[in-house]
Amino acid sequence: MKTALITGATSGIGRACALRLARAGYRIIATGRNSEKLDNVMQQLADSGAEARALVFDVRDREAARLALESLPEEWREIDVLVNNAGLALGLEPEYEGLWEDWETMIDTNIKGLLVMTRLVVPEMVKRGRGHVVNIGSVAGDAAYAGGNVYCATKAAVKTLSDGLRIDVAGTSVRVTNVKPGLVETNFSNVRFHGDDARADNVYKGIKPLTGDDIADVVAYAVEAPEHVQIAEVLVLATHQASGSVIVRK
């Protein structure tokens, strides 16, 4: 049985990926910072009959991530699929008015956290000559939008890091996929606006957005493709969204 590790699995796209890959027959290693939310995901996985383990740590903490992976039983250490999903946006201020702490959190999570997990997991994939890394990027990585500045920059970095890793492992059978969602209704906007529910709800008014399940289906399609097929990059948008900045609301 293959094993998939999903970061940021406590909610949204990460939780959907954990449940979707479990249905595809994978054993799941679900990671996240919030132990209570992670327990809820584990219960859902158990109810579905999936084999699963939880690891509680913050991807920004390199040592905690290393120790968490080393705590896995030997039979769980062969990770076939790594879904680098942990990430967030904070604020919509102009770049010249942005908050230092928001910038540092986004950069440390979206870029450094992805690098931490890649560095810890991919070497063993390369040794085995097989594996799959799925990075959850964003349409925001293709072009900046108003107020997106630093968040867009971090997702542009995810694209570049995905492309670079794909080059690095081209001589192996390790595959790399960058999935770039558009507007997805999760707790993303609530986090971005520091818990302002009303402001977050306005993001999705007048349009039917994507769901975490929609993105999880794309991830499952990529990892279940034949071994000679590498889905390098997928841009997934709601029907009435044309780009990161063009959304038609009705």
In terms of phi and psi (left: phi > 0; alpha: psi -120 to 50; beta: otherwise), the region of 28 is beta
Residue 151 is among the residues annotated as catalytic for this protein: yes
- CA distance between the termini of the chain: 46
Give the Cα-Cα-Cα angle 22, 155, 170 (nearest 5 degrees): 70
- Paired strand residues for 76: none
> Do residues 133 and 177 lie in contact, with contact meaning Cβ atoms separated by under 8 Å?
yes
| C-alpha span between 108 and 231 (Å, rounded) | 27
The tokens describing 138, both together, are: 């964003």
- Paired strand residues for 126: none
* Residue from 26, 96, 151, 204 carrying the catalytic annotation: 151
Residue type, 173: S
- Paired strand residues for 174: 131
Give the Cα-Cα-Cα angle 205, 211, 106 (nearest 5 degrees): 85
The dihedral sign for the CA sequence 66, 67, 68, 70: positive
Q: Which residues contact 82 (CB under 8 A, 6 or more apart)?
A: 4, 5, 117, 118, 121, 122, 125, 131, 132, 133, 134
- The residues that are catalytic are 151
